[in-house]
Structure 1
Amino acid sequence: MSDSSPLPPVRLHPEAELARDALATPLLSRAARLARWAGPDTRIDAGGGLVEEQLPAAAELLGLSGDDAAAFASEAWRVAVDTGLVEIVDSEDEDEGTVAAGPDLALLTQGSPHEVLAVWQEALETVLADASVPDLDDLEGALDETGEIDFSRLEWDPEAEADFLDGVLGNLYLLTVSEDGPGDGPVPLPALAASMIVPSDMGEPTNDVLEQVSDAMMRLDDQFRLLEPVGLVEYQPVDEALMAEPDDAVAEPAARADDTDVSRYGMVRLTPLGLYGLRARLLEAGLTAPAVGDLVDKGADVLLDGTATFPPTAAQAETEQWLARREPLAAARELLAAARGADAGAPLRRLRCQQALSLVGTEAEPALREVLDDPELGGLARVWLSEHGAPDVPAPSEAMIFWLTIDTIAAQLAAEGNSEELRALVQGLAAQHGGFFAAAWRVDHPATADVLEAMGRLHPDKRIAKEARKAAFKARSQQGG
């Protein structure tokens, strides 16, 4: 993901709801139970972990059984320590110490939703750090003469591994918040692994690339199993039966997966809590990661500029929330005032203004009538009044019609680029108005030349495209550019 391009806005659940979700996650709830259980008799080792003799009692308290019970109890304890639910008391014994309830334990029952989520976020960071560490079984033979891990023997780069997981989670976030993505639906693990490895310009993946995707899937399978108990994701693991099938069945999951068997290769989706957590991490990393509702207390100028890059559905949701806090007539006047301007962003502001006003009822009519003679707003005011069945709407002049047409195309170019919808609009204009280009180049609008050049690029008829380019040249000459 680019660190400069803003991400699509995410729709977050209310913090109170997310805080309840956080408290209900298996890992944080276990950590809290251990923190309340811990006391002066609880013994820890030099690293702050529970001594081995205490793990069975901790596992029993948590209702854990089986071969992994001690490991799960140890993980929950480590989260309790890392999040401040447990505080380590200094001890003269270098090998063992004691603990007490930490300052953050009370936040889980008495803190605000935001404070609860801050504790959960610390738990998430602990689990993410653990997820980037290879299995302890893989450490055998990787210790040097002093007993320290020799990463060169392990062929493991901790920074690269953490960056890879961050990249995967970033892509999962982007897929989730994009309007053309799966939304609340799960993402196939092969697609997620391929998004990090297969170059975007590669046609048919090579065997080497497919093998890398397969290796990445196995790593991600382990990592998502770790991340599910903290509530970041809901995960359907890779079908273990696949491990018993021929090697090529696993080595080429992206190629073999189809609608009937893709789920066997793992399916993952971010939870509402996971969306909240990843957005917080993206913001911390300096990325622009907006959320719907961020602009509700801002002025109309900030709303129109802020939603300029939003996809249509998100822009409407943000605008609806903004309007809900304001009286319709005052909101309409504020929107119209913010839509004025001759800068490059003004056409798109006016388009967003027009879209916002479409959500306002007839109470806004006086505001629209006030701008009927405004050269920049008179056209959209007439459109709004006509669509709302207002009486006595003055007909627009030909100059106003052409100005509004240029302004609208300039806004569409800024919002969508050379889209198919815009291509159809250009063709329709040229077909309906035989002398369009002969008149359009005279329009006194800052974007006239740019719009005519774009029409020349977009129109499939070479003769008409040439007319558009000639008109653009005339417009630029008229503007002295």
Structure 2
Amino acid sequence: MSAQPHPTLPPVRLPSEAELAREALGAPLFARAVRLARWAGPDTRVGVGGELAADGLAEAAAALGLDPADEDAPVLASQAWRVALDTGLVEVTEPEENGEEDDGEEEYGTAAPGEDLALVAGGAPADVLDLWLAALDTVLADVAVPDLDDLVDALEEGGTIDFDRLDWNPQREADFLDGVLANLYLLTAAERGAGQGPVPLPVLAASMVVPEGMGAPTDAVLEQVSDAMMRLDDQFRQLEPIGLVEFRPVDEALMADADDEELAAGSVAGELDDEDVARYGMVRLTPLGLYGVRARMREAGIAAPAVGELADKGADALLDAVCDYPERAAQAEIGQWLDGRGLPEAVAELLAAARGADAAAPLRRLRCQQALALAGPEAEPAVRAVLDDPELGGLARVWLAERGAADVPAPDAELVYWLTVDTIAAQLAADGPFGPGAAGAGGTSGASQGEAAELPLLMESLTSHHTGFFDRAWRVEHPATAEVLEAMGRLHPDRKAAKEARKAAFKARSRRR
């Protein structure tokens, strides 16, 4: 898979390897490949390249229990055999190079079950998944090839393919498919996106065609979206049997009734209800598909985290990583990190990792506070130990107060204002790579959309409850003071308060010089 322009991807939640391996073994195409590998024997004849002889293809279809009257049976058997061959489930001895015996008859090689077939029943789940990933590579390579009829029509008299006439560039096709899968992965992984439901095919097609920032698509762009939809419709039909996706094809009646622009316009513009949108095709990555695309991304050097990967890391690595996670994914990751650790020690480690004056420190403290929300009363000694810490004393008091602890010292005014700046800085940072303002169709958010909408209300509440708030705020000894006041100048719902915030931001910057 070629690298796609998603430098930071939201983490995905994957089932266990055992569950994924069961899904892999249940994928129709992979299951057929395993059956053919067990069927192969001394009488199985193959040609150059390991393809089955014509009579062998019919026997393979019968071994799979396919209806001999079904015209698709030989195609299904051939696909399954190719997967078995490419994954090592089958081993072949090819015929001699001339391919003919002395009497002029065609010579055939033989096939037998491969050594890797034993891994299906006796290997670890990771072994099964490796075989499935090899099968996926085979299918993706086939999907990137145009229809065979087009290839035949494009053959020149000399027996070579006229690529200009076919308008097919193998690398371009592979890159397009990689881009589609990367976008589908992003939509599936997104906390607010299609991870909770299938993706409309026009949305996926538009993500590959419509230029970023374009308003209403032109007729020419809509035609490209329609072409991409039909291309994806064919490709996802081929990808479903390997277990990569669940797919509802484009309604054939819809295709017959609409021209290209009509086919794409309504769904891209969001003018249809859910039932009508479904007629344009719907697709979602299965959990196994999510695993497969992630594996390909990681092989290409793309950072594609999964929840649970940080369970054996230190608290500093945990907090640094979850700063870029959507909130629910961050909570799940933190919960797994806490499991199996002694709570007082884990809390002390988290608090130590939350310190700092760098730009990411406020968000680290926010994630630390979220982690403490999962902790029980046995964490209290570790929390009380930081009450006098200038950076952690505020969140320690909040945690203790929320649990009704006794003898919680009241914060002084300096700490209150410092904590206010730190909290707003953290919320601003949480609206980061996956924030509502930064994401496209597949984006998600470090802070949920509801939290992002509540930030101006929080600012209004703070200024209304603290007389002379901005006169005090610009003096706060916090690295993010000026940035927070500038944000309040942009986001505060009261125009007068917003103006005061901008003046205070100027003073804070002047003071820093």
The answer to whether the Cα contact below 8 Å between 1:348 and 1:412 also exists between their aligned partners in 2 is yes
Identify the residue that residue 500 of structure 2 maps to in structure 1.
467
Kept in 2, the 8 Å contact 1:3–1:287? The answer is no
Q: Which amino acid aligns with 1:357?
A: L
Q: Within the alignment, does 1:479 sit opposite 2:491 as a pair?
A: no
Q: Establish whether residue 263 from structure 1 lines up as the match of residue 265 from structure 2.
A: no
Choose the corresponding residue for 1:392, options 394, 403, 407: 407
Matched residue, 1:69: 73
1:449 aligns with 2:488: no
Cα deviation, residue 460, structure 1: 4.1
Aligned 1:388-427 pairs, distance under 5 A: 388-416=403-431, 419-427=452-460
> Does 1:334 find its partner at 2:349?
yes
Which residue in 1 is equivalent to 2:148?
Answer: 136
Contact 1:214 1:253 in 2 (8 A): no
Counterpart in the other structure of 2:180: 168
Question: In structure 2, the residue corresponding to 1:265 is in which secondary structure?
Answer: coil
Relative distance call for 1:52 and 1:252 in structure 2 (3 A) is: farther
Q: 2:35 aligns with which of 33, 47, 58?
A: 33
Structure 1 residue 130 displacement after superposition: 0.7
Q: Is the 8 A contact 1:176 1:182 kept in 2?
A: yes
Q: Report the alpha carbon displacement of residue 268 of structure 1 after superposing the two structures with TM.
A: 1.2
Determine whether 1:45 maps to 2:47: yes
Question: What's the CA shift for 1:259?
Answer: 2.5
The one-letter code of the counterpart of 2:81 is W
CA-based RMSD: 1.8
**Residue 144 (structure 1) shift:** 2.6
- SS of match in other structure, 2:274: coil
Matches within 5 A, 1:225-244: 225-244=237-256
Q: Does 1:378 align with 2:393?
A: yes
Checking the alignment, whether the CA contact within 8 Å between 1:184 and 1:269 is kept in structure 2 is no
The one-letter amino acid paired with 1:118 is D
Q: Name the amino acid aligned to 1:80.
A: A
* Cross-structure match for 1:430: 463
Matched, 1:98 2:113: no
1:14 counterpart residue number = 16
Structure 1 residue aligned with 2:441: none
- Offset at 1:475? 2.2
SS in 2 for 1:106: helix
Secondary structure, counterpart of 1:98 in structure 2 = strand
Number of equivalent positions = 480
SS in 1 for 2:182: helix
- Deviations 1:65-113 (CA, angstroms, capped at 9, x unpaired): 2001101101100001111111222543443422222221111111110
Query: Does 259-268 or 244-253 show the bigger shift?
Result: 244-253
Deviation per CA, 1:448-468, whole angstroms, max 9, x where unpaired? 122222222222444333322
| Partners of 2:44 and 2:179 in 1: CA distance | 39
Unaligned 5+ segments in structure 2 are: 100-107, 438-451
Shift of 1:246: 4.9
Matched-pair contact (CA < 8 Å) for 2:490–2:498: yes
Verify: 1:350 aligned to 2:365, yes or no: yes
SS at structure 1 position matched to 2:279: helix
Query: Which consecutive residues of structure 1, in runs of 5 or more, have no partner in the other structure?
Result: none
Report the TM-score, using the length of structure 1 for normalisation: 0.95
- Give 1:272 deviation, angstroms: 0.9
Give the distance between the partners of 1:295 and 1:111, measured in 2 at CA. Answer: 26
Contact 2:4–2:182 (CA under 8 A) maintained in structure 1: no
Q: Alpha-carbon deviations, 1:143-173, whole Å to 9, x = none?
A: 1343122211211122112211111111111
Q: How much does 1:240 deviate?
A: 2.1
Contact 1:187/1:267 (<8 A) preserved: yes
Partner of 1:364: 379
Q: Which moved more, 1:100-109 or 1:228-237?
A: 100-109
- How is 1:230-309 mapped onto 2 (pairs within 5 angstroms)? 230-247=242-259, 250=263, 252=265, 254=267, 257-309=272-324
Deviates more, 1:31-40 or 1:359-368: 31-40
* Contact 1:194–1:213 under 8 Å retained in 2: yes
SS of residue in 2 equivalent to 1:87: strand
- Are the aligned partners of 1:55 and 1:74 in contact in 2 as well (CA < 8 Å)? yes
Q: Which of 126, 129, 137 does residue 138 from structure 2 map onto?
A: 126
- 8 A Cα contact 1:253 1:265, kept in partner: no
Contact 1:87-1:99 within 8 A present in 2 as well:
yes
Task: Determine the structure 2 residue equivalent to 1:315.
Answer: 330
Matched to 2:348, the amino acid is R
Provide the rounded CA distance (Å) in 1 between the counterparts of 2:145 and 2:491: 52
Q: Within 2, Cα distance between the matches of 1:134 and 1:434?
A: 70
Higher relative contact order (CA 8 A, sep 6+): 2
Mapped partners of 2:505, 2:226: distance in 1 = 53
Kindly indicate whether the alpha-carbon contact (under 8 Å) linking 1:305 and 1:349 is maintained by their aligned counterparts in 2: yes
**C-alpha distance in structure 2 between counterparts of 1:201 and 1:251, whole Å:** 18
CA apart distance, 1:344: 1.4
Give the distance between the partners of 2:403 and 2:340, measured in 1 at CA: 22
Partners in 2 of 1:245 and 1:479 — Cα distance?
67
Aligned equivalents of 1:314, 1:238: Cα separation in 2: 33
In 2, the alpha carbon distance for the partners of 1:165 and 1:217 equals: 12
Q: Is the 8 A contact 2:20 2:287 kept in 1?
A: yes
Distance 1:157 1:7 in 2: 28
Q: Secondary structure at the match of 1:99?
A: strand
Residues 287-343 of structure 1 deviation map (CA, whole Å, 9 limit, x = unaligned): 111111111111111111110011111111111111112122111111111111111
Match of 2:198?
A: 186
- Once residues 228 and 141 of structure 1 are traced to their aligned partners in structure 2, the CA distance between those partners, rounded to angstroms, is 28
Runs of 4+, deviation exceeding 6 Å: none
